[in-house]
Structure 1
């Protein structure tokens, strides 16, 4: 983490979208600022590219990081996907998975309340992004097992967590 800080020369906290933009730029990840309150980027995870969107709500001092792991859920698999979602979310300490109602896409969301100054530190930005990518990587196989291997949600989660433990 220190090498990113040196290459970015960011020693102070910054506006949330600005800090995320600086982090993405320092890591060489493509991104674009959509507004002062929103940034869109892309990160290579273990299983594919994940779209990351940071949305800043100034009035609430909340930054929400949304990750889209490019998993589309066919209508006939939604029941099993929702069951798996409940099981997966029990495993999480930060953030949660959901199914985007407009498009049946899997989404990971995590919100963080910032202080009265509304500033984000480099460490906070890195932790948010790393957590999102790690959780998407960790549970991606479980969703694939349900969608393409016809495993039950419980079996898919067990298999995914065993596989992840075996790779570490």
Structure 2
């Protein structure tokens, strides 16, 4: 864990990567800075621990979040996984799921367009992380059903949505 950054005042907006580091630290989540514009860490979810990467593109004022549930898609199940991706992405209002071409890793990706000052509030940073983990948790079972449970994409999505609706 890198702690060479300034301490963030929770009442003020801050640079995106620094604010995310403050959120990670507040929760006691493992994280590290990859550079001035990137942070990676681990966040526990309902089904697994997710790797989260956040990349700040200052020139575009975009903070890109990548949440990886450590799900690898085998070549033999790629077609079914892509079909499920299309159905899952229809359910999302923010972000989307994709299969990274290098390593066939499943990921959730979301970009936040920030204002001219390029700052983010503590609430917005927490909400962005919560949303990424929530969406991964919501659809994690569907991907497991397709990749390991031999269900069709339609069956897997239906089963996952029933399971999610039944959680308290």
| Distance across 2 between alignment mates of 1:167 and 1:128 | 22
Shift of residue 46 of structure 1?
0.7
RMSD, matched Cα: 0.8
| Distance across 1 between alignment mates of 2:47 and 2:73 | 16
1:1-41 per-residue CA deviation (whole Å, 9 max, x = no partner) reads xxxxxxx6411000000000001000100100111100001
Match of 1:113 in 2: 113
Shift of residue 123 of structure 1?
1.1
SS in 2 for 1:52: strand
Match of 1:12 in 2: 12
Match of 1:4 in 2: none
Match of 1:125 in 2: 125
| Distance across 1 between alignment mates of 2:48 and 2:165 | 19
Give the alignment's TM-score, normalised by structure 2: 0.94
Shift of residue 149 of structure 1?
1.1
Match of 2:69 in 1: 69
| Distance across 2 between alignment mates of 1:148 and 1:118 | 42
Superposition pairs of residues 11-30 of structure 1, within 5 angstroms: 11-30=11-30
SS in 1 for 2:41: strand
Q: Unaligned 5+ residue runs, structure 1?
A: 1-7
Q: Unaligned 5+ residue runs, structure 2?
A: 1-7
Higher helix share: 1
1:135-159 per-residue CA deviation (whole Å, 9 max, x = no partner) reads 0000000000001111000010000
| Distance across 1 between alignment mates of 2:56 and 2:9 | 23
Q: How many residues align?
A: 161
Give the alignment's TM-score, normalised by structure 1: 0.94
| Distance across 2 between alignment mates of 1:153 and 1:99 | 15
SS in 2 for 1:130: helix
| Distance across 2 between alignment mates of 1:15 and 1:114 | 10
